[in-house]
Amino acid sequence: MILLTEFSIHVAEFFDATIAKGADVKLATNWIMGDIAAYMKNEKVSINDIKLNPQELAELIASIKGGTISVKIGKEIVDPAHIEKMVDKVLSENPKQLEQYRAGKTKIQGFFAGQVMKLSKGKANPGLLNKILQQKLNATS
């Protein structure tokens, strides 16, 4: 008898959603059970708490499978901690713009996203980047 835990049910739902978005089954399995599971264990978070959604994972897998990016670059792109460090760096280097954002000039978010993309040489996952950026920009406002 297989006992399904809440953890495994959520992981299975994430996997199914990733496949439904067109991801290769074997690659999705490898990513979810390998790098993503390791990240969840290290950070002590659930699949629902990671900053990557099934659509973004499916796009990443398609980029790797299509040869647009390497697996190594894919791992860097997915690593929220890596993107978070770049966001922190950009925010700390641009206090004037950060002050403007927090004063209500929210369109300047594009400036920050552009700076992080520049820092990552265009390799940061835009969806993940924007989630992290939103959290950071609104954290102490």
- pLDDT tens per residue across span 53-76: 999 999 999 988 888 777 877 877
Flag whether pLDDT at 17 surpasses 90: yes
Flag whether pLDDT at 141 surpasses 50: no
pLDDT greater at residue 93 or residue 42: 93
- Third-level CATH fold of 79-141: Arc Repressor Mutant, subunit A (1.10.10)
Distance CA 134, CA 112 (A): 10
DSSP-H helix ranges across 1-141: 6-20, 25-31, 37-43, 54-65, 71-78, 80-93, 95-102, 109-119, 126-139
Q: Domain-by-domain residue ranges, the chain?
A: 1-78, 79-141
126-139 and 54-65 helices cross at what angle (nearest 10)? 140
pLDDT greater at residue 77 or residue 129: 129
Flag whether pLDDT at 40 surpasses 90: no
